[in-house]
């Protein structure tokens, strides 16, 4: 039993080689996001609520990019495991075209409808705040952030393909440089230090946009200067040709993931919109709790990437039993770690709210939400790695039902009913929504035991040789 759940030194060495750079980047990103939040939060409840709502609206684009590229990444990881560099090159082109098209569409939608989206979150009680100021600040923030959508998409294309090749240090370095740029830009542009203009919330958006171009520049230069090491990039722009057979295969695999991420992100957006009827204090508290959650979930997010790459490469090489074994050990390790991290979140719950310049009511809401989040963290970590396990074998229709359909049928519906038809407090509603994923865990256990997910999606395809 022990050997089924606990790996040897070689297993953990290969896992840590892959995981640590991803984890460092995720941690720094989340930590600086927390500092960013604290800086914006120092401007008051309206400012932090405005940035929170705008970012919630843009999450739909972010996750649409993630979903669309994830389907192609399944093929990229398996092509790499198979040693098919032509297949990787065509997959890279597919991702590039998708990222550019998705960015252009998102800019148009947000430019014309962004204000209406933000206003829909401001229908609750003001709790003594200024709803008009929140709306104006949110719209200004969103309009500036539109300039950062194309570089965000292109970074995901390049960094994701590098990771599929086993290269995690370069995306980490680029991410760290972007984060430091963002942090310095916040300090200069939010508060007007060193003679820079004092722009408040708009300054935070400008700093983020600048940092995204810095990150893109680094991954572009590195990738194209090392074509001997990353063969997929050699000749990638000679044409944008992608074999039709591969386009159809990736699209069939990616479509459920793209739809999943769009529907899931819309589901989360609607849940937060339902929460907002409890007032501006609830919006601010949920933003702080959500940012803190992202910091404590760094390992969870990284383990999802580790499952995708480590399991996907073995599936692509046809080593099915080894893929199952690696996956089982990664899931067990994930759960042990997140029981400990959950306890850490609970212990930190009285301290984190004090970092923010918000009222006592918001601070108490944050404290209670963090306790709930810490208790539920092992539930969410299991569901997360289960999702990536099923996805690694290309079972994207199943992941769609497991993630997006469950979110809408169970989580969104529950949040709607509790916010509209009960007198429960925002904390009580938050607890119900966070713990309802226990049903998802039970479903995940049954699917993992069936082993249906372990399959090779690039076997027998000639698309990569075109």
Q: What is the pLDDT of residues 355-373, one digit of tens each?
A: 887 788 989 999 999 999 9
Distances (CA, A) of 78 to 60, 153, 402: 27, 22, 23
Backbone angles phi and psi of 237, in degrees to 5: -100, 10
Distances (CA, A) of 310 to 19, 124, 211, 258: 10, 46, 30, 22
| pLDDT exceeds cutoff 80 at 18 | no
Average pLDDT over residues 2-29: 74
Distances (CA, A) of 339 to 300, 331, 344, 380, 389: 11, 13, 9, 11, 20
Average pLDDT over residues 184-192: 92
Name residues whose C-beta falls within 8 Å of residue 218's C-beta, 6 or more positions apart in sequence.
Answer: 170, 173, 174, 177, 178
pLDDT tier for residue 45 given thresholds of 50, 70 and 90: confident
Quote the mean pLDDT of the chain: 85
The pLDDT value recorded for residue 312 is: 77
Specify the pTM: 0.72
Distance separating alpha carbons of residues 199 and 74, to the nearest angstrom: 42
Higher pLDDT, 13 or 34: 13
Average pLDDT over residues 56-76: 83
| pLDDT exceeds cutoff 60 at 126 | no
Percent of the chain surpassing pLDDT 70:
92
Least confident of 168-177, 180-189, 425-434: 168-177
Domain boundaries, the chain: 2-465
Name residues whose C-beta falls within 8 Å of residue 463's C-beta, 6 or more positions apart in sequence.
Answer: 87, 90, 243, 245, 246, 249
Instruction: Determine contact, residues 388/447, Cβ cutoff 8 Å.
Output: no
| pLDDT exceeds cutoff 90 at 374 | yes
The pLDDT value recorded for residue 463 is: 38
Q: Tell me the CA end-to-end span of the chain in Å, nearest whole number.
A: 46
Distance separating alpha carbons of residues 442 and 454, to the nearest angstrom: 19
Distances (CA, A) of 160 to 32, 96, 155, 156, 347: 22, 11, 8, 5, 35
Least confident of 197-211, 233-247, 368-382: 233-247
The pLDDT value recorded for residue 2 is: 60
Q: Report which of 332, 328, 329, 326 is spatially closest to residue 313, judged by C-alpha positions.
A: 326
Distance separating alpha carbons of residues 404 and 396, to the nearest angstrom: 11
Distances (CA, A) of 123 to 140, 192, 352: 19, 32, 28
Phi-psi region of 357 (alpha: psi -120 to 50; beta: other; left: phi over 0): beta
The pLDDT value recorded for residue 134 is: 85
User: What tens digit of pLDDT does each residue of 286-338 get?
Assistant: 988 988 898 898 888 888 878 877 887 788 777 788 888 888 888 899 999 99
| pLDDT exceeds cutoff 80 at 42 | no
In angstroms, how far is CA 335 from the centroid of its own chain?
19
pLDDT tier for residue 71 given thresholds of 50, 70 and 90: confident
Structure tokens, 74: 């399944």
User: What tens digit of pLDDT does each residue of 149-179 get?
Assistant: 999 999 999 988 888 887 878 888 898 898 8
CA angle in degrees (0–180, nearest 5) for 244-245-251? 85
Instruction: Determine contact, residues 327/15, Cβ cutoff 8 Å.
Output: no
What HEC string does the chain produce? Answer: CHHHHCCCHHHHHHHHHHHHHHHHHHHHHHHHHHHHHHHHHCCCHHHHHHHHHHHHHHHHHHHHHHHHHHHHHHHHHHHHHHCCHHHHHHHHHHHHHHHHHHHHHHHHHHHHHHHHHHHCCCCCCCCCCCHHHHHHHHHHHHHHHHHHHHHHHHHHHHHHHHHHCCCCHHHHHHHHHHHHHHHHHHHHHCCCHHHCCCCCHHHHHHHHHHHHHHHHHHHHHHHHHCCCCCHHHCCCCCCCCCCHHHHHHHHHHHHHHHHHHHHHHHHHHHHHHHHHCCCHHHHHHHHHHHHHHHHHCHHHHHHHHHHHHHHHHHHHCCCHHHHHHHHHHHHHHHHHHHHHHHHHHHHHCCCHHHHCCCCHHHHHHHHHHHHHHHHHHHHHHHHHHHHHHHHHCCCHHHHHHHHHHHHHHHHHHHHHHHHHHCCCCHHHHHHHHHHCCHHHHHHHHHHHHHCCCCCCCCCCCCHHHC
Work out the angle between the directed axes of helices 45-82 and 280-296 (0-180°, nearest 10). 30
The pLDDT value recorded for residue 25 is: 66
């Amino acid at each position: 039993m022990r050997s089924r759940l606990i790996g040897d030194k070689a297993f953990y060495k290969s896992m840590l080689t892959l995981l640590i750079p991803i984890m460092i980047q995720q941690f720094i990103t989340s930590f600086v996001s927390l500092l960013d939040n604290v800086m914006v939060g120092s401007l008051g409840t309206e400012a932090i609520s405005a940035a929170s709502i705008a970012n919630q609206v843009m999450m739909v684009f972010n996750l649409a990019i993630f979903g669309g590229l994830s389907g192609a990444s399944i093929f990229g990881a398996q092509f790499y495991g198979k040693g098919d560099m032509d297949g990787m090159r065509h997959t890279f082109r597919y991702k590039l075209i998708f990222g550019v098209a998705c960015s252009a569409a998102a800019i148009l939608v947000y430019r014309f409808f962004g204000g209406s989206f933000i206003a829909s979150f401001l229908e609750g009680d003001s709790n003594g705040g200024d709803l008009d100021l929140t709306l104006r600040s949110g719209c200004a923030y969103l309009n500036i952030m539109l300039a950062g959508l194309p570089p965000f998409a292109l970074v995901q294309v390049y960094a994701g393909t590098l990771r599929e090749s086993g290269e995690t240090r370069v995306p980490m370095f680029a991410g760290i440089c972007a984060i430091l740029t963002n942090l310095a830009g916040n300090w200069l542009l939010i508060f007007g230090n060193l003679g820079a203009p004092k722009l408040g919330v708009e300054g935070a958006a400008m700093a983020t946009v600048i940092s995204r171009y810095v990150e893109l520049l680094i991954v572009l230069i590195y990738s194209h200067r090392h074509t001997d090491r990353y063969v997929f990039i050699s000749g990638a722009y000679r044409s944008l040709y992608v074999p039709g057979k591969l386009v159809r295969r990736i699209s069939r695999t990616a479509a459920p993931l793209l739809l999943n991420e769009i529907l899931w992100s819309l589901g989360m957006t609607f849940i937060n919109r339902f929460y907002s009827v409890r007032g501006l204090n609830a919006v601010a508290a949920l933003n702080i709790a959500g940012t803190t959650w992202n910091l404590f979930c760094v390992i969870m997010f990284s383990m999802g990437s580790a499952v995708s790459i480590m399991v996907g490469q073995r599936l692509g090489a046809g080593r099915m039993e080894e893929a199952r074994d690696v996956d089982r050990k990664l899931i067990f390790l994930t759960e042990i770690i997140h029981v400990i991290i959950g306890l850490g979140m609970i212990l930190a719950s009285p301290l984190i709210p004090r970092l923010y310049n918000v009222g006592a009511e918001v601070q108490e809401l944050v404290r209670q939400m963090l306790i709930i989040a810490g208790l539920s963290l092992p539930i969410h970590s299991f569901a997360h790695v289960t999702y990536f396990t099923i996805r690694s074998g290309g079972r994207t229709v199943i992941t769609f039902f497991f993630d997006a359909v469950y979110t809408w049928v169970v989580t969104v519906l529950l949040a709607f009913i509790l916010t509209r038809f009960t007198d429960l407090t925002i904390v009580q509603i938050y607890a119900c929504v966070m713990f309802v994923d226990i049903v998802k865990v039970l479903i995940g256990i049954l699917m993992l035991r069936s082993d249906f997910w372990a399959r090779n999606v690039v076997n027998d395809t000639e698309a990569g040789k075109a």
